[in-house]
Amino acid sequence: MHPKYSLLTLPLLLATCAQAADKLPVYKTDPAQTSISGLSSGAYMAVQYQVAYSASVKGAGIIAGGPYYCAANNILYAGICMGLVPLVSPKPGPMLTAAQEFEKTGQIDPLSNLKKANIYVFSGIEDNVVRQKAVDTTVAFFKLAGVPENHIRYVNELAAGHAFITPGFGNNCSANAAPYISHCELKATGYDQAGDLLQHIYGPLNPPAKTLLGKIIAFNQRDFAIPESSLADTGYAYIPQSCAQGATCKVHIALHGCQQSAESVGDSFYKDTGYNPWADSNHLIVLYPQVNKSKANPENPRGCWDWFGYSGPAYAVKSGVQMTAIKAMVDRLGGR
């Protein structure tokens, strides 16, 4: 035995190894009640997931994210897709055409499913990472793809920076800085973005719990993707007590942004964004997959979800390695 590992420390080491290898547990979930949201690169991924798996996704929350397949597998288009190139905005037409081609070849679900999706979109006026003109195109894309206008909620009047918005936690509203969580007011009230997007997707919900009875679990993401995918070894999920005790639950996938995984900001995204209190009182499991910075993918130095092709050309369709991994996590939660 290595001299620094005594017989007293060995049980602790074994317990730690076992915890790191825990599989994502199985619960009772309703496959028709799955939804997704994300910030920044997580928002671009949420758009991709909603479009590609539209048959099984009820709705999406897009916070500072551009339209589907905007970069077209070319990182050189990223600046345009983030609205950073002066006098140039992304156009929704070519992106819809790309989606239609993927549909014809069976690489994504039929776009007609989007007619029943509920889409929440947010863009802060002070966001200098993904500008509003890019997010405007996201709204235009979904309308062009068949989402009814009354199924789309676009919040774009807050003087917010590049961040997930909470009523009281995080940076000042206009900040564009880690942990990319900020507190803002809308109509003189702290803005609860998690609650707003969840209620737009699902309809009226019970008020958020004041005291959490559920728990956050860590699980092994190596069950779902190899390290070259940029998925971290460990992902997280919030499990309400009711779900752990056998209730049939909804599943919401919450995707962090660049430089916002646990590797970069600790537990801030999966504890402080405000999803968990809503989940606790509404039989809702929140899945927090994690992507890290990757030496295997030099185009991913900031721990971003893949929305431009660093994990392979299939990144925006159902066979994409990150897309497949997320879907497999959702299926595992429901025992499918």
The helix (run of H) or strand (run of E) holding residue 18 is helix 10-20
| Contact (Cβ atoms closer than 8 angstroms) between residue 92 and residue 137 | yes
- In DSSP terms, 220 is beta-bridged to 234
Catalytic residue among 127, 136, 196, 280: 127
Positions of E strands within 91-203:
118-122, 152-155, 164-166, 181-183, 185-186, 189-190
Catalytic site residue 151? no
| Contact (Cβ atoms closer than 8 angstroms) between residue 32 and residue 52 | no
Catalytic residue among 37, 41, 162, 182: 162
Rounded to whole angstroms, the Cα distance separating 231 from 321 reads 10
Catalytic residue among 35, 40, 41, 242: 40
The candidate with the shortest Cα–Cα distance to 326, out of 280, 279, 291, is 291
The candidate with the shortest Cα–Cα distance to 126, out of 68, 184, 74, is 184
Rounded to whole angstroms, the Cα distance separating 99 from 159 reads 33
Catalytic site residue 30? no
The candidate with the shortest Cα–Cα distance to 193, out of 229, 219, 156, 221, is 156
Rounded to whole angstroms, the Cα distance separating 233 from 192 reads 30
Measuring CA to CA, how many Å separate 115 from each of 92, 93, 202, 300, 322? 17, 18, 15, 34, 25
The candidate with the shortest Cα–Cα distance to 261, out of 228, 286, 234, is 234
Positions of E strands within the chain:
29-39, 59-63, 118-122, 152-155, 164-166, 181-183, 185-186, 189-190, 215-220, 234-239, 249-255, 284-288
Catalytic site residue 56? no
Q: How many residues does the chain have?
A: 336
Rounded to whole angstroms, the Cα distance separating 314 from 255 reads 19
Active-site annotation, residues: 40, 127, 162
